[in-house]
Amino acid sequence: MFNFVNQDKYDESFAVAPLTDFLAANETTQILCTLDSLPASLFYAVMNKAEVGKDLQLFVSPMMLEQKALINIDNGFSFSIGGHTPWNISAENEGNKIFIETCKENKKNTSIFSLLGWETAMIVTHIFKQAPDDYSNGAALVDGLKTVQFDSPRGGLELDEETNFFLAPVYKCTIAPHTSLIKTTVVDEYKSEWKNFVEEPTGGVISGWTNTYLCY
């Protein structure tokens, strides 16, 4: 029904008046939001002050669920927030503990993007050990990776044999209206969802290229 693309600077001038004007004039209660963590924090603050209806529901991208995006909301959100993220900073698995501790020791930020670099290093390190004398045989490397499950900060990271994409648990996040508490649950059936996803034919305006890491 309506698309809003922000073109403002990420400072005190940040505004979303076209969007809030539309919401005030229509009965729309659901918004799909795709923003990085910094503009997300500004977006939340602006929307919290706007009178756009008590039943507003935001379905947001993973970067909008990071801690940097959810700061500065002392009295809770006036709307509900829901979304999925590939990583939960509070996960108790050993891989996540090592990841967070290593980042702290090296004074590096923990984020979805630093996690992506961490996982890449895990895979590359394994390839070096698997085939120290020959990195040119891609088929052999893939066959070797299919037998390994990496202890990623996300949980068990394993290669899907049909698509050669790495799969790991997904987390569902919700924030109820008038609170700032984020509730996170593990999505156990992600493999069946992945199968349905890859079997869905692409067509029309869809390019066929898919960002499956859920970064933005």
> What confidence score (pLDDT) does residue 199 get?
87
> For the whole prediction, is pTM greater than 0.85?
no
> What confidence score (pLDDT) does residue 113 get?
86
In a domain, 129, yes or no: yes
Range of the domain at 63: 22-86+168-199
Domain total in the chain: 2
> What confidence score (pLDDT) does residue 214 get?
47
In a domain, 212, yes or no: no
Q: What is the pLDDT of residues 50-100, one digit of tens each?
A: 877 678 999 999 999 988 898 877 778 889 999 999 998 888 899 999 999
Q: What is the pLDDT of residues 140-192, one digit of tens each?
A: 889 889 889 999 999 999 999 888 889 998 999 999 998 888 999 988 788 88
Which of 9, 84, 88 is CA-nearest to residue 42?
Answer: 9
Give the separation between CA 22 and CA 28, rounded to whole angstroms.
Answer: 9
Q: Does residue 145 share a domain with residue 48? A: no
In a domain, 102, yes or no: yes
From residue 195, give the alpha-carbon distance in Å to each of 65, 70, 150, 162, 177. Answer: 25, 32, 21, 10, 33
Q: Does residue 140 share a domain with residue 41? A: no
> What confidence score (pLDDT) does residue 211 get?
55
Q: Does residue 191 share a domain with residue 138? A: no
Average predicted confidence (pLDDT) for the chain:
87
Q: Which alpha helices (H) appear in 131-209, and where do they start and end? A: 138-145, 190-199
Q: Does residue 73 share a domain with residue 42? A: yes
Q: What is the pLDDT of residues 132-149, one digit of tens each?
A: 788 888 888 898 898 899
Q: Does residue 131 share a domain with residue 108? A: yes
Q: Which contacts qualify for 124-130: CB closer than 8 Å, 24 or more apart?
A: 126/150
> What confidence score (pLDDT) does residue 190 get?
86
> What confidence score (pLDDT) does residue 215 get?
47
- Phi first, then psi: what are they for 66, rounded to 5°? -75, 160
Q: Does residue 152 share a domain with residue 135? A: yes
Q: Does residue 104 share a domain with residue 64? A: no
